Each structure stands twice: as C-alpha cells, then as structure tokens.
A and B are shown apart, each in its own frame.
Chain A
C-alpha cells in the first residue's frame, strides 16, 4: 500500500446519502457525489468546472446526529458520513432562501426573456415556493445594454458570481467582479464601466451562457426567448486545467 500523500494514492471512501450506500473519492464534495448517484440537492451558485463560491447556501445538508449544517458544495466526503439532503428543516430553509432571492430584486417572470428557462424559477418550483412571505424590496436597478451583443439586467441578478468566476477562471479576462457591500452588492464590468466600453471583455459570451437567470442575456430576445447552453464548461475547464 502506498503511503498517504503520494500522487497516485486515490483514497476511496464509503458513506451514506439519504440512507443509500455510495462510494466516492476522498477529494470529492458531497454535492458531486450526490449528483453522480442521481440524488438531487438544489443548488444555484455551484457549477462543475468553476471554483466553489459557497454563496447561495441552497445545497446545505445535514449529518445524522448533528445539528450543524454543511454546504454540500464545499464539504468533502469522509468515511462513514451519513448525509441527509432532504429533511424538513432543510426544505424549510431552502424555501426561505428562494423567497429571499425573489424578494431581493425585481424578478417579474412573465416578462423576462428567460421565462421558462430560468434556474431561479425552477428552484422556486422545486422548493414549493408558491408565494413570497417577505416584502418585495422594489429597489431600482440598472439595465446596461451598452454591449454590442449582450445586456445585463441587474433587476434579475442573484449574485451567484458565476459570471465573475467563468470570466476569470475560464476566459481569463476578469471583466466581471463584485462591488459594494451587503444588499447593495452588485456585479460590475471593468471597475463599473459600461459593459460596452470594457477593454477586457472579449465578447466570448460565456457569462451570458452560464447566467442562471435573465440577468445576462443576448440582445434581440423577447419574453421567454433566451436559450442558454452551458455544455462548453466542463470541457473547457478540463482543457484549461490540463497539466
């Protein structure tokens, strides 16, 4: 047996997710292993091929016998773990998180170009959010349509930071970043210049494709017309990280 730490020593562990026995590489996260085994854990900010943000907190899971929750995306599996992904407590929290997101900005689904193809909408459906108990904040947000091909509508942004990560980690342009604190946080292009005036943007459109909502979209789309395709990401990510 090879000692720990040697490059080829991939350790495999077994654990239980919702009472199913599963095996996993020690380096995998709970979320990854759950997906491999067809166990759905709602999530929003995590994407295969991007770094972990741990921002949406939807993929929180419970460990049997512990009241502390763990983020599925950011927690590695361990031998003998007993993970629960769908307890009543977790469902209640997820529902609230989605409600908070819907109340935070102005997600008017019926007139959104991503209507019917939106991950937030899907999550609301999945988590049984049939109404929002919190006051809608109704704050004013900008729409920046200055780019030749794309548009950012901050009314519909959920701050998953996927665009920030894909632009930095895959495209290498780092056009996007986050600005401001707390509820006033928002994504910006090039230190908050209009997108159309960005020097760093290559126009590759990866951010648009991986945006889960109608925040980043192509021009010339109307309600329900914006289709996105994220299949490029796992492939590009593998190629980028080829050693």
Chain B
C-alpha cells in the first residue's frame, strides 16, 4: 500500500462513517464487559435493526471504568455536515437500549447521562489512548481512518531507519515498562549491532497487581502496538517480532490475533510491507501468569521454551537477547507511543511533559478514589491534580493518606508530596517509582504495615526462586511483617527487617528482588510510627524472644514426606 492509497482508503472509510447520522459506541473493554456490556451492545443492535442512520459498534476502553458499562452517542449536527455532538451514558443495562435508541433524534436520556465536562475527561491528554473508546478495535479500517499506519507507510516510503531513530531520540520517550530507560538509546544500541537476525519483543506481561494500562491499549487499539513494532523493526533492522502476553488476557489476545491477520491481509505486516524491502512478522507467545516473566531476560527464556528465570545482565538483550540474537524489548505503552511520534514528529512529543520525562502517561486509578479507571495525563501533572481533580478525591468523606505507585516495586507517597510533579525522577526522589502506571489510593483506614505486607507477600509468591536473597529473603521479610502486623514483634525484629531490606535490594539478581523491599522502605520512611506502635516491649529484661521456630512453618510447605 502506498501513501496515497492509504490516504484514499482512509478517506473512503471516513465518508462511510459519516453516512450514518448517529454513531453509538459501546465500551467492550474487559472492565465494562464484566459489568454486562455485551448484553448492552446486543440490545442496542436489536433496537436499531438495520437502520442505516444509526451505526452501533463495540469500542475499546473509555476510561471511567467505575461507571461502566459506558455508551457514547455521537450525532451529526442537523445544520452541519461535519460538526457533531456527543452524549455519554453510564451504568447502562440492556433494558435501557430502547430508551437510548428512542432518544436519538430527541432529548438525551437524563437519568443515564454522565457529564463529560468533569475534570476526569477535560484534564486528560490522549496520545496512546487517542483511539481508545472511539474506534472499533476489531476493524483495521477504523484504525486507518484515524490516521493509523500513516506513520509506518510514511516511514517506509520516505524515511530511512536512521530518520526514524532520530525522531524517537528527539521525542525523549522513556520506557513505560517501569525502568524509564531512554527508548531512543535502546533502539540505537540494537540498530548498531551487526546486521543479521534481530528481534523485537513487545512486553505485554503486565503483572503488577491492579495495573491494566497495557491490557486497555491492546484491547482498545491493537493496531497501534503492531504499527509501533513494525516501526521498531524497521529502525533497528529486525524482521521478526514477538508479543509476549499473559494468558489471563483472552480478549486482548483475540483482538491482537485479529489485528495481525487484518494487517497481514492489507500488506502492512508480513513479507515486503508496502512493496518495500522490509519484511516483518509478528508472533504471539502466551505467558502463564508469572510476574517474573515480565522481566526481560526471564521473558526471553520463556519464549525460548525454558523455565522463566532471569539471568545476570550484562549481556543485555540489545547485545545478546532472544536465541542469542540482538533483541529490542519494549513495553506495550512505549510502542504505542511510536506511531504518534512518527506521525507528528519527535519535537511534537517532546513539547509535552517535563524536562526529563516527555509525553503522556497512562495510569490505572484504583483503591479509595471516586473515579476508578484509566486515565492518560501529561507528564509533570501533580499528584494532587490526578487524585483530587481527575480522580474526584477520596469517597465517603474519608481523608487521603497515601498513594502507592509502581506496584510491588514502588512505594507509598504521603500527603505532603501531593503537589510534586509526576515524573520519573521526582517519584524516585520521594522513594517510589513511576513503574508501569498503577496508582492505588489509600485513606486513613488503611494500615501501612499491612500494605507493605501485602506487597511483600506478592513478591514472595512471585519470586522465581533462583537467587538466595530474593527467594529466602522475601519469605523471611514477609514473616517479619506478619509478626509486626500481629503485634508479636519487637524492636529487634524491626531492625532485622531493615537489615534484610538493605541486603535483598543490594544483592538480588533481578529487579523483582532488588525492588521487593521498596514498599517496606517507603512506608518505614513516612509511617514509621505505625510500625513502632505495633511493637511489643522486649519482655523479660534481656530476653531475646526472637521466637525462632515458626509455629505455622509446616503448613507453608507443599511437599509431604512419603
């Protein structure tokens, strides 16, 4: 497909879309589906029949998951051919279908209306999620109509791989998978490796508890990720890509599969893309839900068919990756930014965000917050704006206590830092990390020691067991935290816990162990008194009371002697 062919195709689809006066979009992302969106979609389709004036379609995530199932109506203004008005309905059931369809040329159904003037919508800035909730993710033509694959075809026909690299570098994009590594730098390292077999991997393992940013992107706009991968392949000289995705995301997998088929059929994937010399295939590999398989070396071992365990780095994947070949591995959201960067230019992207953190970031808001759901905001926005303005604050008149970012590798940020800008470096300075974008809000009723124990339990369960500090250290740390929660610990236990945190983070083999102590360290930093309040006095003068035999020890074991 050439540029003009793509443009014609896009124009045609857009024209087709404008033929119907009303477009009804039903959110069919996993969140709304779990509250019954499929029935709503069926109901609406049944009501509309085949009225050419109304087009009903399933779309991806609209963001305000707390109010699902969400339905949006876009109607062309009677007076104009192009301007349109939008109405958003919340908590829609299949029974509402009739009322909604009846209202199309009349007044909206007030009882279902969800205002879109609220900051939740107004304050967001959508790049990665620009098509999310708007296009039908199962139709490549809708993506193309929204300027999809424009970046790819432009790059292939008018830009050299070096040009693409230059744009990515100029954009200042940093990895969204947690580490924040400069994407341009990573790409150029792989590009500089001698020519030969190279791979691109899209890391869609998304294992942080409470995180669903990547899932939303894959479910709502899968072609965007594919386009990003092909662009990456073009820039670094790879001809084969893998999407490593957790098997717990069946909908995302299904949509990805469909997207790969459609893109291949359109000649946008596969052999000689757009009749150029670039060939690029994409295969899907399913992960079995081990958190550690999101770590890049473990992920590659898993694709290779081995046990998903990390190995020491260096060598980094860029030099010695999948099957021993140079490999570019990026997160879903990182790759999803790429088509926009190529389409609008690196400078456009770099104009958003802060000095060292460019662009936007998708966050999954969860916990004690009014508007749980998915948001995309410019980097540098304050935590307060996210939580109080966009998120609507803490519900039920409770007061805010802390926000946890970065999942099990992150930390808890207290009230005093809410006015700090959200960027990689600031979050690190206050003892947390950006992470992949999970944000869990806690109110005064949450016990910080219990929060720390929760994340430690997660790390203990998810440790791969290869290295001693993480395998045995997380187990001991969990039990020490448990002892503190149960008010059986002494100041010595707390000291031992701190020593362990220090050792485990300094010596573990991979990021899981290295960051596992973070939730403990950050809660100790800001909420130490909560730990101390739970400590017991050292009972008898000089009595250790270390309690070195675990009462529950045999229960924790899976094996029985025969």
Contact of A182 among B314, B471, B554, B562 (CB under 8 A): B471
- Cross-chain contact B507 with A93 (CB below 8 angstroms): yes
Inter-chain CA distance A142–B557, complex, in Å, is 11
- Cross-chain contact A96 with B465 (CB below 8 angstroms): no
B557 proximity list for chain A (CB < 8 A):
139-141, 184
B334 lies within 8 A of chain A by Cβ: no
Interface residues of B in 473-527 (CB under 8 A from A): 473-476, 479, 496, 499-500, 503, 506-509
Given contacts A74-B312, A135-B550, A182-B461, contact A69 B468 (CB under 8 A): no
Inter-chain CA distance A217–B314, complex, in Å, is 35
B398 lies within 8 A of chain A by Cβ: no
B336 lies within 8 A of chain A by Cβ: no
Which residue, B312, B479, B560, has most C-beta atoms of chain A within 10 A? B312
CB distance from B297 to the nearest CB of A (A): 10
B78 lies within 8 A of chain A by Cβ: no
CB distance from A213 to the nearest CB of B (A): 13
A137 lies within 8 A of chain B by Cβ: yes
- Cross-chain contact B465 with A159 (CB below 8 angstroms): yes
B474 proximity list for chain A (CB < 8 A):
182-183
CB distance from A95 to the nearest CB of B (A): 9
A133 proximity list for chain B (CB < 8 A):
496, 546
CB distance from A179 to the nearest CB of B (A): 8
Interface residues of A in 179-193 (CB under 8 A from B): 180-186
A76 proximity list for chain B (CB < 8 A):
314
CB distance from A181 to the nearest CB of B (A): 6
- Cross-chain contact A137 with B556 (CB below 8 angstroms): yes
- Cross-chain contact A96 with B500 (CB below 8 angstroms): yes
- Cross-chain contact B562 with A142 (CB below 8 angstroms): yes
Interface size on B, residues (CB 8 A): 45
Contact with B along A154-188 (1 / 0, CB 8 A): 10001101000000000000000110111111100
- Cross-chain contact B549 with A55 (CB below 8 angstroms): no
CB distance from A195 to the nearest CB of B (A): 13
- Cross-chain contact A142 with B475 (CB below 8 angstroms): no
CB distance from B320 to the nearest CB of A (A): 13
B476 proximity list for chain A (CB < 8 A):
100, 103, 134-135
Contact with A along B421-460 (1 / 0, CB 8 A): 0000000000000000000000000000000000000001
A152 lies within 8 A of chain B by Cβ: no
- Cross-chain contact A69 with B506 (CB below 8 angstroms): yes
- Cross-chain contact B549 with A136 (CB below 8 angstroms): yes
Smallest CB gap from A131: residue in B: B548
Inter-chain CA distance A184–B549, complex, in Å, is 19
Given contacts A181-B290, A183-B472, contact A138 B462 (CB under 8 A): no
Which residue, B309, B465, B550, has most C-beta atoms of chain A within 10 A? B465
Smallest CB gap from A5: residue in B: B194
B464 lies within 8 A of chain A by Cβ: yes
A101 lies within 8 A of chain B by Cβ: yes
CB distance from B286 to the nearest CB of A (A): 18
B463 lies within 8 A of chain A by Cβ: yes
Smallest CB gap from B507: residue in A: A57
A230 proximity list for chain B (CB < 8 A):
none
A52 proximity list for chain B (CB < 8 A):
312
- Cross-chain contact A178 with B307 (CB below 8 angstroms): yes
- Cross-chain contact A55 with B466 (CB below 8 angstroms): yes
Smallest CB gap from B463: residue in A: A182
Interface residues of A in 46-66 (CB under 8 A from B): 52-58, 60
Smallest CB gap from A185: residue in B: B465
B509 proximity list for chain A (CB < 8 A):
54-55, 57, 71
B463 proximity list for chain A (CB < 8 A):
181-183
Smallest CB gap from B495: residue in A: A133
- Cross-chain contact B507 with A185 (CB below 8 angstroms): no
A109 proximity list for chain B (CB < 8 A):
none
A82 proximity list for chain B (CB < 8 A):
none
A129 proximity list for chain B (CB < 8 A):
none
A20 proximity list for chain B (CB < 8 A):
none
A97 lies within 8 A of chain B by Cβ: yes
A32 lies within 8 A of chain B by Cβ: no
Inter-chain CA distance A103–B214, complex, in Å, is 40
Interface majority SS (helix, strand, loop, mixed), chain A: loop
- Cross-chain contact A96 with B499 (CB below 8 angstroms): yes
- Cross-chain contact B465 with A139 (CB below 8 angstroms): no
Interface size on A, residues (CB 8 A): 46
Contact with B along A17-30 (1 / 0, CB 8 A): 00000000000000
Smallest CB gap from A160: residue in B: B468
A97 proximity list for chain B (CB < 8 A):
468-469, 503, 507
Interface residues of A in 122-136 (CB under 8 A from B): 132-136
CB distance from B9 to the nearest CB of A (A): 47
Interface residues of B in 153-185 (CB under 8 A from A): none
- Cross-chain contact B465 with A180 (CB below 8 angstroms): yes
Which residue, A138, A139, A183, has most C-beta atoms of chain B within 10 A? A183
B560 proximity list for chain A (CB < 8 A):
140
- Cross-chain contact B465 with A182 (CB below 8 angstroms): yes
- Cross-chain contact A71 with B312 (CB below 8 angstroms): yes
- Cross-chain contact B561 with A182 (CB below 8 angstroms): no
B107 lies within 8 A of chain A by Cβ: no
Contact of A140 among B307, B311, B554 (CB under 8 A): B554
A219 lies within 8 A of chain B by Cβ: no
B558 lies within 8 A of chain A by Cβ: yes
Inter-chain CA distance A217–B499, complex, in Å, is 35
Inter-chain CA distance A136–B549, complex, in Å, is 6
CB distance from A165 to the nearest CB of B (A): 12
B472 proximity list for chain A (CB < 8 A):
100-101, 103-104, 183
B553 lies within 8 A of chain A by Cβ: yes
- Cross-chain contact A100 with B465 (CB below 8 angstroms): no
Inter-chain CA distance A25–B561, complex, in Å, is 49
Inter-chain CA distance A181–B459, complex, in Å, is 11
A81 lies within 8 A of chain B by Cβ: no
- Cross-chain contact B311 with A54 (CB below 8 angstroms): yes
- Cross-chain contact B469 with A141 (CB below 8 angstroms): no
A143 lies within 8 A of chain B by Cβ: yes
- Cross-chain contact A140 with B561 (CB below 8 angstroms): yes
CB distance from A46 to the nearest CB of B (A): 11
- Cross-chain contact A140 with B469 (CB below 8 angstroms): no
B105 lies within 8 A of chain A by Cβ: no
Given contacts A100-B473, A138-B553, contact A181 B462 (CB under 8 A): yes
A92 lies within 8 A of chain B by Cβ: yes
- Cross-chain contact B465 with A135 (CB below 8 angstroms): no
Complex A-B: 25 CB contacts under 8 Å: A54-B466, A56-B468, A57-B467, A57-B508, A58-B468, A60-B507, A92-B503, A97-B468, A101-B472, A103-B476, A135-B549, A136-B548, A138-B549, A140-B559, A140-B560, A141-B561, A159-B465, A178-B307, A181-B461, A181-B465, A182-B471, A183-B460, A183-B465, A183-B471, A185-B465
Given A100-B476, A103-B472, A178-B309; 9 other pairs, CB 8 A cutoff? A60-B506, A71-B312, A93-B503, A134-B476, A135-B549, A137-B550, A138-B553, A139-B557, A184-B558
Please give me the 9 A-B residue pairs with the lowest Cβ-Cβ distance, nearest first.
A185-B465, A74-B312, A139-B557, A182-B463, A54-B312, A100-B472, A138-B553, A57-B507, A183-B475
